[in-house]
Chain A
C-alpha cells in the first residue's frame, strides 16, 4: 500500500485466500479499500515450484477469475474509488453506554458482539465500574494506552474507564484494578493476531502480590486463585476490546488458537521461596516496588522433573533443543528446582543459569537456518548485516550456532514445592512496569 500511495507505483498485492477478510479490513482502515489484490490458495509454504506455478496459472479461489488476469488488470485498469469514502470511512466515537436491556439479553449481546472470551461475564453496570474506578487515583477519561492486534493495523485508544469496564467483565475485584491498569499501560496486546496462536504471560512481583492474595505457590498457574484468574482474564478482554476486536478470520488469525489465552498464564513470582533476585529487581526496580511483567508469544512448554545428578546437562539441552529456534525460553522453576540448579551447576544467580543455557542451546547452522520462522524473521535481518545474525549466517553448515541470545532467556520462580517439576515456556519478554503508578 505504501508503494502505491506514497511512491506512486501501481501495485498489486498477492495473498493466500484464507486472509481475504484480513486484507479487506486492513485496506479499509488504511484508507484504500479498493487497493488491487488477488488471491492464491493457502498454503504457499512447502509447495514445489510446479505446484506454485499451478497456483499462478490457475484461478483466484475467491473470485473464480484467472489469477494473472486479476494481477494484470490491477496494474492497468482504472480504479473506481467513487463512493468509497462515505460508505467506508465514517467512524463515530464508540458509544459510552449500551442500550438498556435485561441481563439475559445483555449477556447475549456481549457474546454476539464478540466482546467476551465466550465465558459468562459480569455485566459492567455504572455502579460496578465506579467501584473499580475508586481504586485508582487516575481520572476515568485519562488515556491509558494504545493497542493493535498486529503491526499492519492502526492503534486503538482506551481510557481508565474502558479498562475498568473490562476489569468488571472479567470478574476482577476493585483492589486488583491497579494491576490491570498497569497491564493496560504496557500497550502490549494479549490478543495478537499472529497465525502462530500465541498467548501472553504475566508475572507480578512485589508487595501487591500479598496485598491482593495472589498465588505464587501450589497451583499458581492453574485455575485456583481469584486474583490470578481474573487479572489475566481482564488483560485478555481489555486487549481484544481496547484494540477494537479479536475475531477469528478478521482480526485474529491464530490457526489453532491457544488455551493459555483464557487468562494469559498470570501468576506471582514466589519471591519468598526463591533463592535468587526477584524478576522485577533484575529489571531495575526495588524489591519494595510492585510491578507486572508481560511476555508474549507463549506457545510451547517443555517440562521435566528435577535436575538429575548425572545427566542434568543433557536433559536441559534436550528441552532447549525441543523449542523452535525462533523461540525465547523462560525457565519457570519450582523453588525445589531452583535450589537444585544451584546444587548441580553452582548457579547461585539467575544470570549464571541464563549464561549456561545460552552456551548450551546449540544446533548445526544448516538446521538453524532451515527453520521456517528463522527464514521468515531472522534470515532477512542477517542478509542485510544485522548482528549477531550476520555472523551466524557465515557459519559452515555443520558448525554449531547458538539458538538464542542471552538477553532472550529468563528465569522466574513459581510453585509450591509439592515436587520439583519445572518447565521452559517459549515466550518473549516485553517489559516490566510499575503497578504503584496506577494506585
Chain B
C-alpha cells in the first residue's frame, strides 16, 4: 500500500489567555441586579418576565432593565460603566 504524505489545511489558532471572573456575591438580598437586553429575537420580552420572577420570588432584589446601546454584536462600554457604577450583578439574555 502506497502511503502519501499530505499537508494540513487548518489555519493557526489564536493564543488563548485565561481570564478571571469577578468574585461572586454572598447573597442577592438588597442587591441591584441589572437585566441586560441584547435586543435580539424578543429578548426584551423575556427579560421583562425575568423581572417579574424576581418581584414574585425574591422581592428584596432590586432589578433594573437596561437595553444595550447598539446591536448585540458591538461592545457597549457605556452600558457596562452604568452597570458597574450602579449595580451589583447582571443577567444577560437571551441571546444565542
Contact = CB atoms under 8 A, between A and B. Distances in A.
Given A7-B84, A44-B41, A380 B68 contact: yes
A94 B12 contact: yes
Interface string B74-87: 01000011011001
B39 interface: yes
B22 A98 contact: no
B18 A85 contact: yes
Interface in A1-50: 1-16, 19, 22-23, 28-32, 34-36, 40, 43-47, 49
Interface of A: 1-16, 19, 22-23, 28-32, 34-36, 40, 43-47, 49, 52-53, 55-57, 68, 71-72, 74-79, 81, 84-85, 88-89, 91, 93-98, 100-103, 106, 110, 115, 123-126, 129, 147, 151-152, 154-159, 161-162, 165-166, 169, 195, 237, 241-245, 253, 372, 375-377, 379-381, 383-384
Given A124-B6, A379-B39, A76 B92 contact: no
Given A4-B22, A377-B71, A97 B92 contact: no
Nearest to A68: B53
Contacts, number: 254
B39 to A, nearest CB: 5
B22 A10 contact: yes
Contact of A161 (B7, B24, B50, B69): B7
A7 B90 CA distance: 11
B81 to A, nearest CB: 8
B9 A162 contact: yes
A12 B91 contact: yes
B42 A157 contact: no
Nearest to A238: B9
A187 B33 CA distance: 39
Contacts of B18: 31-32, 81, 84-85, 89
Contacts of A124: 6-7, 9
Contacts of A2: 75, 80
Give chain B's interface secondary structure class.
loop
Contacts of A165: 7-9
Contacts of B75: 2
21 contacts: A9-B80, A9-B84, A9-B90, A10-B24, A15-B93, A30-B16, A31-B16, A32-B19, A44-B45, A76-B27, A94-B10, A98-B8, A100-B6, A147-B11, A161-B7, A162-B10, A162-B11, A244-B11, A376-B72, A377-B71, A380-B67
Nearest to A385: B69
A3 B25 contact: no
Nearest to B33: A75
Nearest to B34: A9
A58 to B, nearest CB: 11
A219 to B, nearest CB: 29
A40 B94 contact: yes
A355 B88 CA distance: 51
Contacts of B87: 9
Contact of B8 (A81, A89, A96, A384): A96
Contacts of B67: 380, 383
Nearest to B15: A91
Contact of B23 (A10, A12, A19, A45): A10
B8 to A, nearest CB: 5
Contacts of B6: 97-98, 100, 106, 123-126
Interface in B5-56: 5-28, 33-34, 36, 39-43, 45-46, 48-50, 52-53
